[in-house]
Structure 1
């Protein structure tokens, strides 16, 4: 009798667990899968948006609203200081060094030495995030800049996307009337004369979203903006010219000297003031297009079931091609391994999962998007695919740290923007840059020196040694390539030599 009395509570407890398990399973079975909208902005600087820089000259209310309803990562990075490699990293969850996709496709500029070998296509055997989601019933959509292969067999429709509006081999809107229709783009039909490209891409994305209310989708909006050519709608350009006058920004010093790559043909300058009216118009036009997509999610009743991610492929253009923006206090810009070239706008809104308006200071990088999307979708991780990324779900749920040793960058090229061939590692607050022409190093503490002005390498030799060992180990793991000698020229530095 006593034995039976003791068994009754256990039986009740077991039945309750079974009932709760059944209810949870039933709820999960009826719950709609999450949708995903990924927005990538070309050449957008970290300091170009209001949520990162309240004093910015540009106006980005829709991106700022996205930050207020999601999580803003203050130490978010691109995997490379130029476009194609970072785009590869998002699609695959891997560092681009693994396939020698280490420069824009296909930049082969020489300097004192020849650059490292460059693979100018994303291999077709890569399983992209679009392909991974398609396997689980997702409809997939791409609009905008692709720049991941020279011929059409490497374009979006052959890399997992059901729909492709505008993605081909070019890295900018260089056909037709460029940012205005007719576009001269074989994957984008022309609109009415004068139609603006960012608005058109947003309209196509919004249309896809509305047509897929009843099935899970992955929509990837990859703006050509705010990449050159520097062109903006005339009314907005006029607006920002007047704003610059009103704020007294037209007669201030706009440029300072930047570090030079030798031999010096023309001194490199860096923009130190945000007052470029055309660029400001381009930023606002892009932001309005972001707003169109976000508004469509609301109108279609999908906002609460859709994860939205927004980032950029490299830092703001501050040292070349018109130098339209300033990244200060970050040093350098696109094409440089300084923070201005790799630190990015990095936003994720996960309704019901992330506290609105939250921030995270943990260093994260573009290879992390792939495993994060799989994790949030409740799909199995595939580390053999996204082998360098880690899921950011713990951070989105409120954890402050990830179990990761370091972040890495590898750029063995002479950039169009004046950047110096090299690599970098970030470990905690510390960042080490190793230059490939001579093997020299710079060590910075980003917590105390965000502008990377104080080289601490001599002061902390043990830290330099430790970080360098990890960086060199990473070179070996990823089969990294380095600068090459010109015919009959001197040999460049190589790791371990």
Structure 2
């Protein structure tokens, strides 16, 4: 009888405390994700990345609490392809979205260029598997706010894995209503009080979602329309930077990039106001995460979709020491500010020189959440979770393919980076340029003739990648006419 009582007692203890019987403790819940994606933000547009004119205290504080990457890349020098790469973990050559959606297709091409651009897909196909869909299938609540630009209805966020969509439509900028101010004229964002500022509104919607879903794992994806054109700032911020501009002492403001003038100095007051308003919105969301007691459970990611606008459309920013800007294959068009805070993992105020690509977010986030990549899914990204843990990885080469003409002066081109070497190919004339980025971050010295063996190796990698991913090429007009 005594043994029967002992058996019952042990079974009761095992039920209330599994570890006593040698079982594992209950798994902690999946981490939350807050993903900030800024539009057209340049590599040096953040204080911690070197800007002395724009003020970004909230993003700077995020960097101080996490890991800042100095060699993070967008998958393309314009927006839509990079956005699709984040969603899918796949290069633009695979999704077919190789230009910003809305750019003229070759049959409607009227510019006097040497080549006709390649065709591209004008929506993120519904059979593409998005990070939101995978997280949702694993118990996450999912939220999207801001710029989508990955196709018209029915290709909007609510059909691509997001439970909530606040403002995500086909437009590449805030082009309805009063643009950055309410009324917005956006079919997926209710108008606020007259004059309400869009970045702040998107932050409020994000905070509302996080508050309502604080007891669930969640993905809150805040994809700013900022700092894309039209160049519009709150008046108080504009006046602040006009006054600050008067205190600047600098040399030449303008240089040349090909046939384009390029800005050399950050001093555009309206753009500065747009950057600070974005930063304030980031701060509002981060404060809510802290106030709700979610900081230790929430991974925060900050990234831009392409380089800063330096050679066109108002030339609002400078990307120096990087060459070029949005629309160009040079570093100013593709290298981005990127910060990741993984509580309990990333070392505060740490810096990584590991090069990574926007295709890498998909596998990295799944590894953080201990979720496997869906079986049979082809992705190009490589997880950089070990880097966040302080380890090193062999990332292998990363690639770009842009068979189009950018509005900002860039021409059809491709590139590969492997280690410190970057090879760029320009499709109009087949010209190859080789740069050692560890010695020449500004890409001022083409050393292709000095290192033919490296050119041969990298070009073979680029050719093999294009073939494997089904990259479409631009065509010379005389060839296309035959």
TM-score, reference length from structure 1:
0.90
Relative to 1, partners in 2 of residues 1:387 and 1:234: Cα closer, same or farther, differing over 3 Å?
same
CA contact (8 A) 1:93 1:385 kept: no
> Is residue 444 of structure 1 aligned with residue 435 of structure 2?
yes
**Larger CA deviation: 284-293 vs 482-491:** 482-491
Aligned partner of 1:96 in structure 2 is: 92
User: What does residue range 22-421 of structure 1 map to in structure 2 within 5 Å?
Assistant: 25-28=24-27, 31-53=28-50, 55-108=51-104, 110=111, 111-149=113-151, 151-248=152-249, 252-260=251-259, 268-382=260-374, 384-385=376-377, 387-400=379-392, 402-421=393-412
The superposition leaves residues 314-368 of structure 1 with CA deviations (integer Å, 9 ceiling, x where unpaired) of 0000000001000000000000000000000111100001111111111101001
Equivalent residue of 2:246, what SS?
helix
Runs of 4+ in structure 1 deviating by more than 4 angstroms, as ranges, are 19-24, 487-491
Q: Secondary structure at the match of 1:320?
A: coil
Alpha-carbon spacing, 1:176–1:413, altered in 2? closer, same or farther (3 Å): same
Measured against aligned partners, the alpha-carbon deviations of 1:401-443 in whole angstroms (never above 9, x if no partner) come to x233201000010000000211000011100001111111000
Size of the aligned set, in residue pairs, is 459
Alpha-carbon distance in structure 2 between the residues aligned to 1:353 and 1:383: 27
Structure 2 residues not aligned, in runs of 5+: 1-17
- The one of 457, 463, 470 equivalent to 2:454 is 463
SS of the counterpart of 2:103? Answer: coil
Structure 1 pair 208/487, CA: closer, same or farther in 2 (3 Å)?
Answer: same
Contact 2:132-2:160 at 8 Å conserved across structures: yes
Deviation at 1:383, TM superposition (A): 6.7
Q: Deviations over 1:90-110 (max 9, x none)?
A: 000000111321000021355
Give me the whole-angstrom Cα distance separating, in 2, the residues matched to 1:303 and 1:271.
39
Q: CA RMSD in A?
A: 1.6
Q: Provide the rounded CA distance (Å) in 2 between the counterparts of 1:22 and 1:307.
A: 33
In structure 1, what is the Cα distance between the partners aligned to 2:62 and 2:370?
23
CA apart distance, 1:488: 6.8
Distance, in Å, in 1 between the alignment partners of 2:21 and 2:240 is: 60
Partners of 2:253 and 2:349 lie apart in 1 by 33
Conserved 8 A contact 2:36-2:222: yes
Counterpart CA distance in 2 for 1:420 and 1:21 is: 66
- Structure 1 pair 271–137 and aligned structure 2 pair: CA distance change class (3 A): same
Contact 1:47 1:328 in 2 (8 A): yes
Q: TM-score, normalised by structure 2?
A: 0.93
Alignment gaps of 5+ in structure 1: 1-18, 261-267, 492-497
SS in 1 for 2:48: coil
CA distance 1:444–1:488, shift in 2 (3 Å): closer
The DSSP-based 3-state class of the residue aligned with 1:46 is coil
Contact 1:411 1:422 in 2 (8 A): yes
Contact 2:355 2:395 in 1 (8 A): no
Query: For 1:284 and 1:22, how far apart are their aligned partners in 2?
Result: 55
CA distance in 2, matches of 1:376, 1:21: 28
What's the counterpart of residue 6 of structure 1? none
